[in-house]
Amino acid sequence: MLVIGILLLALGGYLTPLSRVALSPFVGAQTWLAERYSALRDYLTAPPAVTRLTQRIAELEVLSALLDFARTNPGPEYLTAAVIGRDTSPFLHYIIIKRGSDDGLRRGMPVVSSQGLVGRVAAVTAGAARVQLITDPNSVVNVHIQPSGAEAMLTGSITGDLTIESIPQADNVQIGDLVLTSGLGGNYPANILIGQISGVSKLPVELFQTASVQPIVDFSQLEVVLVITNFQPAETAPLIPTPAP
């Protein structure tokens, strides 16, 4: 908890005076803790030999899935990053990855998995980065719904539920429709899969209809992600609060 707390303070801009030399041990320590936790969890649920084999197979499957995703989605340039921590706050939805400014990461870069959209880089240190998940209450993603072609905004929440707001009443949105990024606003590339419509609220007295979304990504199981490094986001404002000087 102490290690991840220090990392979160650094990624939030509160430890700016510290050099990368001072922060490197904390990144390494968090990586070690993440690996040990995973190993202990697997050891307690399966024999060691089976655990090692299962873990290796799982790692290969993840890497293979990421490779397939990159091959079937040409154009973007991807950088793999291991997930080494998660935000401890119940009101925020972030993960910490073991890639930082030394690897070319910049704030605003989109992050995906082999399934679909994860979020975007919110803060960066030399060796680590904080990723705001699309489930975060401060996350807003411009989306389009297929096959209707409706365009609207997807927002996160404290509970992690995803909601699409401001869908025109004239658009025929159905349960099971696909939700993808629209590319509008310049914060995400277009046509990255997010999930499916799981519920629709359409009242005649309202100007717009709303919909709930079941994400395709299981955010609780993220171990490795892909950062799109050649996408230049349009937004220049901070994604998270920056402390006053």
pLDDT tens digits, residue range 132-166?
Answer: 999 999 999 999 999 999 999 999 999 999 999 88
Q: How far apart are CA 220 and CA 95, in angstroms?
A: 10
**Is the model's pLDDT at 19 over the cut of 60?**
no
Beta strands in 87-222 (DSSP E): 94-97, 110-112, 117-124, 129-133, 140-146, 150-155, 162-168, 178-181, 193-201, 208-215
Tokens read off for 57: 């197979």
Q: What's residue 204's pLDDT?
A: 82
Q: How far apart are CA 65 and CA 227, in angstroms?
A: 15
| Residue 236 placed within a domain | no
Q: ∠ CA 116-8-114 to the nearest 5 degrees?
A: 15
The verdict on residue 241 lying in a domain is: no
* pTM summary value: 0.74
User: Looking at residue 189, which CATH number applies to its domain?
Assistant: 2.40.10.350
- The residue segments making up the domain with residue 161 are 140-215
Give me the chain's average pLDDT, please.
81
The 10 Å Cβ neighbour count of residue 145 is 26
Whether residue 244 is contained in a domain is answered as: no
The answer to whether residue 40 sits within a structural domain is: yes
pLDDT value for 10: 63
Give the lowest-confidence range in 10-19, 80-89, 217-226: 10-19
Taking a C-beta distance cutoff of 8 angstroms, is the pair 122, 8 a contact?
Answer: no
Predicted pLDDT of residue 8: 63
Instruction: Express each pLDDT in 199-220 by its tens digit.
Output: 999 888 888 999 999 999 999 8
pLDDT for 227 equals: 96
Q: 28-60: per-residue pLDDT in tens? A: 665 656 665 666 566 556 555 555 555 566 666
pLDDT at 92 (0 to 100)? 87
Q: Which residues of 16-51 are buried (b: 16+ CB within 10 A; e: fewer)?
A: eeeeeeebeebbebbbeebeeeeeeebeeeeeeeeb
**pLDDT tens-digit series, residues 97-111:** 999 999 999 999 999
In this predicted structure, what is the pLDDT of residue 233?
A: 85
202 within domain boundaries: yes
Whole-angstrom distance, CA of residue 244 vs CA of residue 36? 37
Higher local confidence (pLDDT), 119 or 89 = 119
102 and 164 assigned to the same domain: no
CATH of the domain at 11: 2.40.10.340
pLDDT at position 245 over 50: no
Are 162 and 143 within 8 A, CB to CB?
no
Q: Cβ atoms within 10 A of the Cβ of 150, count?
A: 22
The answer to whether residue 197 is domain-embedded is yes
- What distance lies between CA 150 and its chain's CA centroid? 24
**Does residue 114 sit in the same domain as residue 40?**
yes
Query: Is the domain of 44 the same as that of 79?
Result: yes
Output the pLDDT for position 42. 60
118, 151: one domain: no
